[in-house]
Structure 1
């Protein structure tokens, strides 16, 4: 069961949604592919095992009560060690900087125990959400607690908001040079602001966004022309496309489809689900 909730203003400026997951998953292990969203997860179920460096399988961590997942540019390997029962916060790009006092760059490619950052928040959220049976009221509790953490960071968004708007338009000629020139700041300053507020450079964020456009372009019910998909999504050629796909997923495009078909069959969901690649136990 997955349920999402859109928070009210002003939280909605910085948070994409709150979500709730409860019950068994199709498979205990999965890859989570890079996205533009940081996620804060409060857990009531089984612990989660995670590897942020898939090439180093012995370097894993066990996530227990609450953790935050920073932006990353390669997939995570995660394994649920019990039934899922969690509530989460999905931040908009840059949204985390409206709540935290440190640079979002510190979270890049990391999963951090939230008790090290917001210990009292985690304790109160876990107690109050767990005691409340109504899911909508659970979301309202979390929303109220987040509102207390919201800071007056309007000035921090004067540069990144127009830059994000241009990046999201994703034109073939969109570059960091063109963005910085159009909004009237140096490339160095723009990169600094993205690292502080988003956690990735503009170029890395553009790569992640373009990659997700690809995932939502794929229609597995039809013959897939990877060259056509590459060109449609502004890759120079199929070689660059294949390189990016491998970097993000650790597999080829055809392997990605095959892995998902093993679990979901011919109907591969779009939207939220494209970032998950279930793995057999």
Structure 2
């Protein structure tokens, strides 16, 4: 599949990592997605997409148009249609907050139809995206939509969350949460409440996800992998804890994951393959 993406212009870049188009025939229909440090908006112009939670008590979902996804703390699976035409937005963990107008913890580990958040907007958005002549035009249309939806400050507590979340991002989750709260001049409980409001999870959970993301994208399946070295570099100092978290987040042991990556290597220049892994 072809992936075309770009970072939006300020001020959207404070909240969005990238806007992208994904088109073509997928190599794998089912993908297994571990927790990653982002929230999402998807606009689909192809066939229906099916999503399965790793928590089997949660009913599967099927989307034919557009949906939001909050930050996920466990893995999920999704099924591509036979041919993909998808427009997506990777929000920073706190990035969806000034666009949706509802507490982020209501979107944690959830898929929500766009019309449930932006009422009567899906058809107009799909029409505009569908009429775009090129990926560049498509990205411009989505960027304009986001710009029109960005609320004006003040966003209560969001600047503090963005600042501390940015430090977790650049440190790959290595800064102790207590130090973040102390540096910000607030209590740990207050910082946790702000994160739940604007991210959906606590800063400790965000740090764990950033730490895991650093580990997973550093794996080079074409070379011998020293898991102890990678885990230590990512901030895991307890091997048993690392092994449990890796299995929880991917559904595989490190050895099983490496075998899967060697069997199905990621496409060069395809960022969507850096975290998700084939599940079929």
Fold in common (TM above 0.5):
yes
Q: Which residue of 1 aligns with 2:92?
A: 92
Alignment of 1:126-275 (within 5 A): 126-155=126-155, 156-170=157-171, 174-264=175-265, 272-275=272-275
Residue of structure 2 equivalent to 1:20: 21
Q: Indicate the larger mover: 187-196 or 254-263.
A: 254-263
Distance 1:58 1:93, change over 3 A: closer
Deviations, residues 15-72 of structure 1 (Å, cap 9, x unaligned): 11110011110110110121111110001101111112x2418821111100111111
**Deviation (angstroms), 1:258:** 1.6
> Retained in 1: the 8 A contact 2:15–2:94?
yes
Aligned positions of 1:12-91 closer than 5 A:
12-52=13-53, 54-56=54-56, 59-91=59-91
Q: Structure 1 stretches of 5 or more lacking a match?
A: none
Q: Distance in 1 between matches of 2:210 and 2:35?
A: 9
The alpha-carbon deviation at position 255 of structure 1 amounts to 1.2
Q: 4+ residue runs of structure 1 moved beyond 6 angstroms? A: 267-270
CA shift at 1:109, angstroms? 0.6
Alpha-carbon contact 1:259-1:279 (below 8 Å) kept: no
Partner SS, residue 123 of structure 2: helix
258 and 165 in structure 1: CA distance in 2 versus 1, 3 angstrom threshold: same
Is there any run of 5+ residues in structure 2 with no aligned partner, and where? Answer: none
Shift of the alpha carbon at 1:271? 5.1
Identify the structure with the greater helix proportion. 1
- The number of equivalent residue pairs is 278
Which secondary structure state, in structure 2, belongs to the residue aligned with residue 88 of structure 1? Answer: strand
CA shift at 1:246, angstroms?
0.8
RMSD across aligned C-alpha pairs, in angstroms?
Answer: 2.1
SS of equivalent to 2:21 = strand
Rounded Cα–Cα distance in structure 2 between residues aligned with 1:145 and 1:30: 28
SS in 2 for 1:174: coil
Distance 1:126 1:173 in 2: 40
CA distance in 1, matches of 2:96, 2:270: 26
SS in 2 for 1:215: helix
Q: In 2 relative to 1, CA 131–257 (structure 1 residues): closer, same or farther, beyond 3 Å?
A: same
Q: CA deviation at 1:228?
A: 1.4
Post-superposition offset of 1:172: 8.5
